[in-house]
Each structure stands twice: as structure tokens, then as C-alpha cells.
């Protein structure tokens, strides 16, 4: 007999970043205009997983203010709160340039989270052909469903735990310092 599956609930908070940049044919520019995470999710096959999307902001992370980061902390706290729909984990889509800064802030403000908080982004927009966007989103959702509580960055085949995650601009990835 096949057991009825237990559905894992993931909250996915979008903030913008390269991963969500879209191309404007009139101006020829890539920019953050709106979340495109639902298009990304439609290309994944997620079983027994319920993803709730919360579109928080749509910003290049180089332009994030201190207030923006506080809004992210508040949104993550709310999603991870005891009783918040029995959320199993939180994923945050974020620009790579200041992802580490937001991760350190989250850890400082939520030192004992109830669930894993997993940040991810991409070096190349999802709308481009050879993008790391879908791989990184896959890894972040996968990690949010299985890791112990904590603050993490998942990308490029690995998960790194905060504190001490940094962007390595030259290699185009994240590393532990």
C-alpha cells in the first residue's frame, strides 16, 4: 500500500537580483521589473512540495537599502514563525552582490530559526539560455526541504552555512571565508 504523502511547505520570498532580470526590447536593457519566479517554478517538477510565493520587492541587490534588508528579515521571520502554516523551510531569491550581507543580517537577527533559511541567486538571468538560475533554485528548494534549521546559501552544487559566506567575484560563485 502506498502511504498518503506528507506535503512539505516551502515559503519562497523573492527580492529581485540578476536571477529575475528581464529584457526590455524597447530599451535593450536587463533590469528587475517584476518577479518571474512562477515561470521558473513551472519548469520544475516538485512532488509533495507546496511552494508559497511571496513577492517582496524587485531590486538589483546593489541598490538595496538598510530598510529593504529589514523588510526581508521581517518577511523571513513571519514565514518561519511557529505555526506559520507548518512551514518546512524558507527560500530567499536575492541578487548575488549583497546576498552575503543579507545572510549575515538574517543570522544576526534570527540566531535560532525554527526552520532552514536558504538564500540563492544566479550569475546569469533565468531568461538567458545558459543560466544557473534553475539549478540554483532547484538546490535551494531541495535544501530547504531537508536541512536542519540555520541560515544557508545554496548554489552551484553546494550549500554553505552562514556566518562566513562571501561572493567570490572572480570565480563567479559563493565561498566560505
Active site residues: 18
CA distances from 148 to 17, 35, 135, 152 (A): 26, 28, 21, 10
Residue of 132, 151, 153, 165 interacting with a copy of itself (CB under 8 A): 132
Min CB(164)–a copy of itself separation in Å: 9
Choose one: 70-78, 98-106, 113-121, 149-157; the region binding a copy of itself (CB under 8 A): 149-157
- Residue with Cβ nearer a copy of itself (74 or 86): 86
Min CB(45)–a copy of itself separation in Å: 5
d(CA 25, CA 68): 29
Residue 167's SS3 state is strand
By the rule CB under 8 A, 47 interacts with a copy of itself: yes
User: Distance between terminal CA atoms of the chain?
Assistant: 49
The gap from C-alpha 96 to its chain's centroid, in whole angstroms, comes to 10
Residues 6+ apart with CB under 8 A from 145: 8, 10, 49, 88, 89
Q: What is the DSSP string of 48-61?
A: SEEEEEEEEEEE-G
The count of chain residues that interact with a copy of itself, using the rule CB under 8 A, is 53
By the rule CB under 8 A, 161 interacts with a copy of itself: no
Binding site for a copy of itself (CB under 8 A): 1-3, 5, 8, 18, 21, 23, 25-26, 28-30, 43-49, 123-125, 127-130, 132, 134-135, 138-139, 141-143, 145-146, 154-159, 166, 168-169, 171-177
Amino acid at each position: 500500500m502506498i502511504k498518503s504523502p506528507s506535503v512539505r511547505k516551502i515559503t519562497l520570498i523573492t527580492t529581485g537580483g540578476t536571477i529575475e532580470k528581464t529584457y526590455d526590447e524597447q530599451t535593450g536593457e536587463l533590469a528587475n521589473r517584476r518577479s518571474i519566479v512562477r515561470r521558473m517554478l513551472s519548469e520544475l517538477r516538485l512532488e509533495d512540495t507546496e511552494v508559497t510565493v511571496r513577492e517582496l520587492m524587485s531590486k538589483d541587490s546593489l541598490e538595496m537599502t538598510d530598510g529593504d534588508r529589514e523588510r526581508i528579515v521581517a518577511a523571513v521571520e513571519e514565514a518561519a514563525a511557529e505555526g506559520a502554516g507548518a512551514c518546512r523551510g524558507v527560500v530567499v531569491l536575492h541578487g548575488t552582490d549583497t546576498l552575503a550581507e543579507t545572510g549575515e543580517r538574517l543570522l544576526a537577527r534570527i540566531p535560532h530559526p525554527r526552520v532552514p533559511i536558504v538564500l540563492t541567486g544566479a550569475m546569469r538571468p533565468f531568461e538567458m539560455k545558459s543560466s544557473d538560475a534553475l539549478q540554483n533554485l532547484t538546490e535551494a528548494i531541495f535544501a530547504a526541504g531537508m536541512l536542519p534549521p540555520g541560515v544557508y546559501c545554496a548554489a552551484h552544487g553546494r550549500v554553505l552555512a552562514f556566518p562566513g559566506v562571501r561572493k567570490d567575484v572572480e570565480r563567479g560563485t559563493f565561498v566560505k571565508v
